[in-house]
Every structure is written in C-alpha cells, then in structure tokens.
Structure 1
Amino acid sequence: MPRLSVLVPAYQAAQTIVPALRSTMRALPKDAEIVVLDDGSTDGTAEVARHVDDPRLRVISRPNRGVAATLNDLLDATDSELVARMDADDIVLPGRFARQLRRIEAGADAVFTTVVTWGAGRPGLPRPSAIGAEAFGLHLLLTNPVAHSTFLGRRAAVTEVGGYRALPTEDYDLWLRMAMHGARLHRMALPGLAYRVHPGQVTASAEWRRASWENPEIAAAYSALAERLLGAPARRITSLSIDSQLAPDEKTAQVAEFSTRFDAALLKCAPPARRALRRKLSERRAWLTRQLGEQEVVAR
C-alpha cells in the first residue's frame, strides 16, 4: 500500500493528460502512486493515459457519472494514508508534494498551495501569501481561497465527513465540512501548480456559480461553519445578493451583523492574517454594494 495516492479524474482530456501525468511523476515522492479514473470519455483519454509507461500509474475506466462520483470512486479504489488531487489539464510544479508532506508531518490535516495561472489570457502570478489553520475557516466564510487540484491531505479527514457530495463547487462544500469538524487546513505561499484557464471550463460559467449560491446543502454547511466560528449562523454574501425575497436594506443589515461578528472572531488571528481577512471582507462588502446597485438599475 503506498502512503500517498494522487487522484486524477479525467474527462475528454486526451490532449492534455500526458503532460499533466509527466509533471506529476517528476514531483512524485517515494511510496506514492497516481490513479486516473476516466469518466466515460469519448476522445480516447484512457488509452492515451495508458501509453504513459510508469509502474506508479494506474488507469481505470467506467461510464460517465460526474466529477463528485468520480472522486469518491477514486477514494474507494485506493487505500493510502494520504490523498492528493491533480487535474488532467494542469501542470505540477517541482517540489510541490515534498513541501506539502513536510507540512502534513508537522500536524496539518490538509495542505494546499497557491497557483500560477496560464492558458487563456495573460499568465497570472500569485501573491505569495500563506493561510494558517487559525484563519482558513474564516477565509472560507468569504470565498474559496484554494484550487482543488492543489489539495494534499489525510484520507481520514476527507472520509470522516462523508467525502464528496454531488453539488456545484463540490470542493468548497468539502472544505466547509472539514473545517466545521475541526480539520487543520493550510495554504502554502509558494505555487505548486500551473493551473490552466480556458473559456469552456465549468468554473467559468455564470450558471455554475449561481447554482452554488442557490444550493441548500452548501448553504447549510456554510451556516454551520459560521455558527462554529462566529457564534451564530449566517448566509453567504453571494447567496444574499440573489435573494429576491429580501429588500436591499435587509441584505445590507445582515452583512453588517455578519461583519461585526467576523471582526470579533479576527482577534484570535495573528496581525498579518487579520489584515488580510479585513481586506477580503471589505472587498466582499464592496462587491455586494455593486450588485445591489446594478439590481436597482435593472428594476427601474
């Protein structure tokens, strides 16, 4: 049994999966494997992946079931102590897994990295900012601060909250539930991944984002974490923005109450984390103000 399994869900990835696998193998530590699950591709993804000759690689195929089911099937197909994620169109940067494993050995339950973006548009370089365990849950109450494909963590931390659910933003939903159950989540400052950006990806879809904002299960997971960290349940600012049952002043009042509780919770954080979170909260409140202004214009 390898200590680490890198899980790679793949769908219609014949054009990108070989460099993704090669980069993963170059960074792979000893006592590790890569497991690809081809989710019913029709472009020969599995065949292309199987041509990568490496004893550390396994390729599984089955009919299409969606990304959450694919990730849970990958968990079931492996039995390692640690699991990591990689997408079939991204590139692992040198040293990623070694740095993450050192943080796991220091007591973390899950470790992420920042990313370099490439592909459509101009390349993006991250601000080299880490997020410690004491601040990670508060970041989740504002936005998802990590890319799913940078995850490396303890299998037990994932399975004890039920694994992935078939929801929009299945990764954000999982991080919310892990944080709620006390898992220690970290983001390392250095990038560990070159994240491909392209116009057709699901995460670029406005419909996909709205489905996440409207989803009741994600709302419940978010509210439970808010109650744990802030002392009271709360709603996502994005969800408030599209609630047609609330007047603009009611939305503003709810965010003001949230902000008061959030600011009190920041006292438990170190000053650099406190500043970063206050800046992010200010950005989210400004975003809501713009949304309300645009809605008022449309309503006229």
Structure 2
Amino acid sequence: MRESWRMLEAGHVFEGARVIDKQWNSAADAVADISDGSSLAVGGFGLSGNPIALIEALLAQGTKDLRIVSNNCGVDDWGLGVLLGAQRIRKMTSSYVGENKEFERQFLSGELELELTPQGTLAEKLRAGGSGIAAFYTQTGVGTQVAEGGLPRRYNSDGSIAVASPRKDVRTFEVDGEPREFVLEEAITTDFALVHAAYGDRHGNLVFNKAARNFNPLAAMAGRVCIAQVEQLVEPGELDPDSIHLPGVYVHRMVEVGTDIPKRIERRTVSAAAPASEGA
C-alpha cells in the first residue's frame, strides 16, 4: 500500500489498485526512498548485468550501512565496488569475493561483514524468497563449515573472529533408496532489489540479454520493491509473451537508461594474430 501511494504521488497512472505505468523519470527518483540500513538484492555476475545507473544514483544520495545480497561485489571502481569504496556497505552476502582488493581489506580489518554462501545455494535462497518458500534442504555444504558453522563473518581489528556463522540443521532423507544428509538453508528476502534488463515494457515485464540473465531475475523476485534499469522501454504488448524472462508482477519501478550505457568487461582475452600465409 505504501508503494502504491508513493507512485500515485509521483503521478503514475492507476486502474483500481493495479499499476499501469511503472516508469520513473530517473534513477535518482527511483532509489530516493532507499534509506540507511536497507537490505538490497542486486543482480549481476562479475561485471555482467550490473545495474550501474541505479548503483551510482544510490552512491550519489549518500545511503549507508547497506546490507547487500549479490553474487559478488564488483571491482574497485565498478559495480557494487563503488559503494564499497565509499564504505556504504555494512554486510555482503555473496558467493564470490575475488577481484576486489578493497573488499579484502575491509573484511580482514573488521570493517565489513561477509556471509559467504555457495553460489547455487545463494541462487535458490533468492528464488525461494521470491516464491514464498521459507527454507529448503540441500546437499551442498554438508560436512563443511557451511553446515557445521564457524566460518568467519566479521573479524576484530586484531584479526580474531568477532562473528562466526552458526551451525545449521542437518537432516537425513532417503533418496533413491539410500540415506543422504541435507542442510537446511533459509530463504532470502530484501527491502529492495536493483536489476538490469535489456528490454522492459511499462507493465514491468523484463527480458534479459544473454549473460545478464544471471542473478538478475532471482534478485528481482527476492526484493519487496524491485527497481529495474532497462536499456529499452517499450509499450505493453510489444514484447513477445514467450520471450519474457520475468513477469511484471515482480517489478515495481522502471528506469530507461539507453543502449549506450557503459558495460565493463571483467577480463579481456585476445589471441595472437595468426601469421599471414605465403602468397596471400
């Protein structure tokens, strides 16, 4: 209801209680009510599919003490790394934390809390949260500190462990006639989600391009308020229904950022040119 009144005040069109036009004028407007201490699910994998316009708008408005769930934290000068470098992030829930020296420094110095989560488990935690599933059992992590607890989440300045991961419930289920152990993982929901899509219509239906269809749909599902930056915004009905990757029921705000928005490549690998054949 609060979201509906905000959009009504912003001049958006309603038909009964259903939002017709979810487009917002700017990234700054769309993230304006993300307050200090908010939790966010953010799409992206490496540097692919990062909602950089929304991240930079959040940086500009000065929001701090953020608790962010994302596969990784960008690099020092791109993606979520720009929020990290400004010390706006209090906690990260991630599956991969390489490629970012500032991340390493903040974590080891006790400035940043990290909940390290297996990648597939993180994806399912977000999907489950968006699907109304409270928790699920998985074999991933059985027999490790993921299940047994003790993984450092935050250090003291002297290098000792200030916060460690708790022990999780492990149960035995019969699978294919054999008993197997499974660890209980709780679903994730967040206050907001920030995602990037190639196409979107004004009803919020999204289409992702290739590798950008990574954690973006899952993050969108997990956020109570999903904000999507789209390269091209089209009218309802222009997207082939069979091509839509995420239905608009999960999306609340849309910002068109254009097709020329910068897209970084994490690692560029090129091969040496083959020598020209004789007589060519």
Tell me if TM exceeds 0.5: no
Higher strand share: 2
Higher relative contact order (CA 8 A, sep 6+): 2
Higher helix share: 1
